[in-house]
Structure formats: structure tokens, C-alpha cells
Structure 1
Amino acid sequence: MNIADFEYNLPKELIAQEPADKREDSRLMVVFCKEKKWDHCYFKNLIDYLKSGDILVVNDTRVIPARLKGIKKGDGKVEILLVCQRGINLWDVFVRPGKKVKAGDVIQFGSSLAGVIKEITPGRGRLIEFVTNGDFKKILEEIGEVPLPHYIKRTGPPTQRDKIRYQTIYASKDGAIAAPTAGLHFSDEIMQEIIKKGVEVFTITLHVGPGSFRPIRLNDISMHKMEGEYFEISSNTFQEVMSARKSDRRVIAVGTSTVRALESAVNIPGFNGGSRWTDLYIYPGYKFKTIDALITNFHLPHSTPLVLVCAFAGMELIFKIYQEAIDKCYRFLSFGDAMLILT
């Protein structure tokens, strides 16, 4: 299967630069795969498509303020993006501009934090050891910036509104460098309505990393390799999901990260809860074992989330839906609108 099969023309004006006024004010396209038809509504109408006994699974990862701006002595400004913690104060990071930062260099991030480059890693990567007399997590919250995607443009640093809205209301476990964006549409009110209707809500954790947003660059998409991401699923959540599947109750995943966590777990022999790393890459031909429906945003061409959605609902239908979304001026990507895919 060729990467060109996952290309479409996304008008720049449809890339959402700001979230909807209220989380639930985003539009929602409800896709019925068997009937090959769809409805147009708003996310606040999601409740109309759920029923008592459904299982809703969300990703409770919390986006950390992973972007740090610093100064390398004698060589100007440097920006880093935290990617993965490797030890106490030891992190894999991306560096920009990468060419000017070498092993042994010291970068100063304000008055309370410095970093020593320990080694160069593949791509734009570096291994950095932070040096501080204070609490690293507290300092990061004070001076770090929310890592908005490159396609969301700001004339200055991200705003306080960005910090709030680029985070799900149920985010609780630090570790992501990108939001599980399908969850951004849920408000407290929507969650209360869902629970009141008899839908059971369960959480998993998958810390979204660069593996989720790096584009596929190989012509043969089956050759693409995902970077590993950490996930956790409790024994109770896993058992409830598998029990629901056996009893014909619907399991609805909120976001592609939730799908990858659940599918990774079910593929591990004897798994009954716990934490692992996953590099699971889902593309057309994959047989899903844990979910019946998916809530997801509209994704970039050549992206692994788009490929996963095509694997779930079928390429022909998905690209018809995407064209419909473009024709109807839906808003795309992280701060954009959503779809509910029902198989």
C-alpha cells in the first residue's frame, strides 16, 4: 500500500487555530460504517448516539509544558522539546536548531534551571541532564510552554487559554508531549450526561510522544516504524473491556492513542493489567480485537492516525467522509471538529 493513497488536499483555512468557544460546541460527524452514511451534528449531541451499557474508554495522560527556551553560552537561543524521561533529571529531547548543540554544551533556561548535553541521539535528538537546586517538575510548570503543534500559529508564546484547552478535563498523569485530541471535546457537563445515561467510563494512559505525530515518509506504508510510547491499563479496565466484547456491549475508544493502548494490551499473551511500552502501528489489514466504535478528530495526510482510522472504517469510506468534511467546512486537526465512527 502506497503513501500516496493517504493523501488529500487540506485547505489551510480549515486548520483550526483556536478551539471552539465551548468544548462541546465542536461539530461532530457521526459515521455509520455498515450503512455507509453519516449525520452532521455537534459534539454536545454525542449522548444521542450512546446507550446504556456502552463502555467509553478515555486516555487520561496529561500534556506537560514540554517546550523550553534557553541560551547556549556564546551561541544564541536554543529551543528544546522534552520527549521522554530516561532517569532522574535525564531526558531525551529534540533540539532546534540542532546543528549548534553538541555533547558537553550547557544550556541555561532562566535563572533556576540549566541543562548539560550528555550525548547526541538520532535525528534532532539529544540526551540532556537538567541541573537545578529546586523541584524540576515545579520549575517546568513555571517556565515551560505548552507544546502546541507546528500548524497552530501564535505570534507570541501559547496563552493561558491554550494551556487549559490543549488538555482534557480528565488529564491526570503527566507524560504526554501532545494532547490526545479526541478527548478535548468533552466537558464536565457532557461527562455527567454520559454517566447518567448508563455509559460506563474507564481510563487508560498512553503518553503521546513523537511516534504519534511523525508523518510516514516511506512509499510502502507497511515499512513505517513507530517510536515506542508508554502505556498503562488497569486490570479492572482491561477485564471490563474484554467482558463487554464477549457480551455484545459496545466499547467506544476516545482517540487513536486509546485504540493503540487497548490493542497493544490484547496482543500481549496473558496480559491482565500493568504498564508496557508499545510501538504498535495499525494500518489497513489489521484486525481490531477490542473496540466497536471510535471518536477521533480529522487528521493530517500521511499521518499514522489517519492510517489507523482507515484501517478501522475502510479507506474508501474515510476519504468520502473527509471530502464531505472539507465541503462542509469542518475544522481539522487538534483544535478542530470530531467524528464518531460506528461499525
Structure 2
Amino acid sequence: MLVSDFDYELPEELIAQTPPETRGASRMLRMDRASGALVDDSFASLPECLKAGDLLILNDTRVIPARLFGVRAGLHTQHNSPAPTGRIEVLLTSQISADDEGSTWETLVRPARKVQPGETLHFYDAERPSAPALTAEVLAAGEFGERTLRLIPADPQEPLTAILERIGHLPLPPYIYRPDEAPNTTADRERYQTVFAQPAGSAAAPTAGLHFTPEILAALKARGVEVQTLTLHVGLGTFQPVRAERTEDIRLHAEPYTLPAATAEAIQRAQAEGRRIVAVGTTVTRTLEHCAAIGNLAPHSGTTSLFLSPGHEFRVVGGLLTNFHLPQSTLVMLVSAFAGREATLAAYAHAVRERYRFFSYGDCMLIV
């Protein structure tokens, strides 16, 4: 199939720039997977849309403040904020290794042409501008802005996580046209994070999970829906646009995941008993279908670069809660693999007509 087969028209004003005022107050478009029938609903009704015995699986990854603004060695800055001149923007996408002196990361750099192997970048703390809090050595360069960086803290006793909390910015997607935590908006550090986030490591949020509140989770359990988690750390693949023309030429970057014992056991019980497994988000879907494809639904950790497109036979996932995704993206292709391309594009056209909010901070769709 062609990548252009998954295009659709989206008015820019429907791209959500901020989360809903109250978490969980989003709209939800319900689709019947068999018929393609659509019903306009609200996320608050999710417990009533599922049934006792369903197994709902969430991605509990935690987003890190992975966006850094620095300067090349020899330049200096007095404050740590995005600026158009002289700045180097770095997005940490996945950690390769770590030792007592520092850590090595895959990153995206902008402007990339100025940052070549052998160069050094400095990142400053606004409250301590006399010396860099973090130094990065550029080890290798890729074709589309990818750079491998060696990060070295100024204080070897301070964990990188603590430094990122001080000087890092939340990696809001590029279609959100404002800085993170802009004035008069809900704090992104809270809202671009699920309420069940645990292990840190993602460069983007598993956005279908952003709608959940403790109250909704309690209502699901009270209804008899079993809720479990797995972890997939979102990395470079989320930020790289599709450059292939045909779907068979698409290759995704590998992302690390963990299938814990409680979730593995719950999946095996649900399958043995014929109960439905509902994935919250494309990250959970890819992880579960990857584990089925390699024949390992036991507890384990690994990496997946699985790309799902129409023609895939789903072995685990029987229901999907997902946000609305970018035109011609691998995520629209995944949803089309589950619900059918024509039905998916019809649902998106309906959502546009009904003025749903799109993408990370937008509304959601339940396909069962």
C-alpha cells in the first residue's frame, strides 16, 4: 500500500494545543469494529462501554524532561530557555549505555548541520550560569538530525535525572506551537504525564493514557474490568516522519519494553478463558502483538520495532482505545490494521466534521 493511502484533511484549528481543563473530560468516539458504526460519546463513559472480565492494559512509562537547549563549546548563555539565535536544541530519545562518569544517548539535534562528531555542547542551569551543568560530546551523526551524544554531568555525584528535572524541558510534540508550561495553561509537567506513570524513560507520552483519572480506574475495577500495565519507552520513531512511499518499505526504530509477571499471567488467563483484551494506546498494541509474534507472552524485557499495517492478524488485542493521529503516520496505519483502512478514515472524517480535538492533548476513540 502507499503511505498516501492514509492521508486525510485536518483543519489546523482542531489540533489541541492544551489539555482539557479537567483530566478525563475528553470526548470519545466509539467505533464498532465489525460494522464500522460510530457513536459520539465521552471518555467518562468508558467503564460502561467495557464489560466485566475485560482485561485493560496500560503503558506505565514516565516521560522525562528530555528536551535540552544548549550552546556549542566556546559560546555562553546566561539563561536556559528556547531562543532562536545561537541555540542548539537536543531531544534525548533513548539511552544506549551508562557508567559512573556519564551516559550515551541517541538524540535528535536541531540545527543538525552545526553539530558534527568531535564537537562539544554545553547546557547551563539558569540559577548557576557560571559553568555548564551538563556537557555533551558528539560521537556520531545520522542522516536526518540523529546524533549520538555522550552526556557528562559537571557534578559526577548528581544523577542525570536530577539534572534533567532542573534544566530539561518537557518534549511536547512539534505540532503544539507553544513552549512547555506556557503562561495561563495547565502545567505540562503534570498533564503530559499519565496518573499511573512509573519507570522513567520516554521521550513522549503514551497519549491514550492521559485521559485516565484515579476515579475512572476505580470505576473500571468496580465494573469487573481487570487493569494491568506494561512498559514501553517511547523513542526516536515517534518523532521521525515517514519517508517511504510504500508501507512495505517502512522501518521503525527499536524501543525497549517490559512485560511484567502480573500482566503476562493476566493475559494468559484471559486468553484461556476467552476474555477480551483491550489495549490502551498504540504502544501497548505494538508491545502485545510483538510478544505474540515472537511467541513469548511470559514475563520478559526486550525491544520491538514491529510495524503494524492492514493485513496484520491480531493475536492478543481485541479492543483499542487510542487518540487521533497524524495523517500518513504509522499510527494511523496501526489503527487501520485493527479497524480497517476505510472504516478508520471514515471515523476520522466524522471526527473532523464533529470538531473533535486531535493528537496528543486531544480526544480519543474506542474500537471494540
TM over 0.5: yes
Deviates more, 1:44-53 or 1:306-315: 44-53
Q: Which whole-Å CA distance do the structure 1 matches of 2:236 and 2:140 have between them?
A: 19
1:242 alignment partner, SS class: helix
TM-score (normalizing by structure 1) = 0.96
Structure-1 residue corresponding to 2:93: 83
Deviates more, 1:292-301 or 1:213-222: 213-222
Which of 106, 109, 128 does residue 120 from structure 2 map onto?
A: 106
Which of 124, 144, 153 does residue 145 from structure 2 map onto?
A: 124
CA shift, 1:220, in A, is 1.2
Deviates more, 1:10-19 or 1:209-218: 209-218
Which of 102, 109, 130 does residue 95 from structure 1 map onto?
A: 109
Which of 211, 219, 238 does residue 185 from structure 1 map onto?
A: 211
AA aligned opposite 1:287: E
1:145 alignment partner, SS class: coil
Question: Structure 1 unaligned runs (5+)?
Answer: none
User: Residue 215 of structure 1 contacts residue 302 of structure 1 at CA under 8 Å; is this kept in 2?
Assistant: no
What are the within-5 Å matches in structure 2 for residues 292-311 of structure 1? 292-311=318-337
User: Residue 294 of structure 1 contacts residue 341 of structure 1 at CA under 8 Å; is this kept in 2?
Assistant: yes
User: Residue 6 of structure 1 contacts residue 301 of structure 1 at CA under 8 Å; is this kept in 2?
Assistant: yes
Q: Which whole-Å CA distance do the structure 2 matches of 1:210 and 1:93 have between them?
A: 8
Structure 1 pair 245/229, CA: closer, same or farther in 2 (3 Å)?
same
Structure-1 residue corresponding to 2:162: 138
AA aligned opposite 1:30: R
Deviations 1:52-77 (A, max 9, x none): 11100000011110000001134632
1:205 alignment partner, SS class: strand
Deviates more, 1:108-117 or 1:295-304: 108-117
CA shift, 1:122, in A, is 3.9
User: Residue 117 of structure 1 contacts residue 127 of structure 1 at CA under 8 Å; is this kept in 2?
Assistant: yes
Structure-2 residue corresponding to 1:195: 221
Structure-2 residue corresponding to 1:55: 55
User: Residue 172 of structure 2 contacts residue 180 of structure 2 at CA under 8 Å; is this kept in 1?
Assistant: no
Structure 1 pair 36/270, CA: closer, same or farther in 2 (3 Å)?
closer
AA aligned opposite 1:38: L
1:25 alignment partner, SS class: coil
Q: Which whole-Å CA distance do the structure 1 matches of 2:268 and 2:334 have between them?
A: 21
AA aligned opposite 1:90: T
Question: Structure 2 unaligned runs (5+)?
Answer: 76-85, 125-131
AA aligned opposite 1:121: G
Structure 1 pair 113/200, CA: closer, same or farther in 2 (3 Å)?
same
Q: Give me the CA root mean square deviation.
A: 1.4
CA shift, 1:213, in A, is 4.3
User: Residue 63 of structure 2 contacts residue 205 of structure 2 at CA under 8 Å; is this kept in 1?
Assistant: yes
Which of 290, 295, 301 does residue 264 from structure 1 map onto?
A: 290
1:237 alignment partner, SS class: helix
Structure 1 pair 270/210, CA: closer, same or farther in 2 (3 Å)?
closer
User: Residue 289 of structure 2 contacts residue 315 of structure 2 at CA under 8 Å; is this kept in 1?
Assistant: yes
Deviations 1:70-128 (A, max 9, x none): 01134632110001111112111111111111222121111321111122234212221
AA aligned opposite 2:353: D
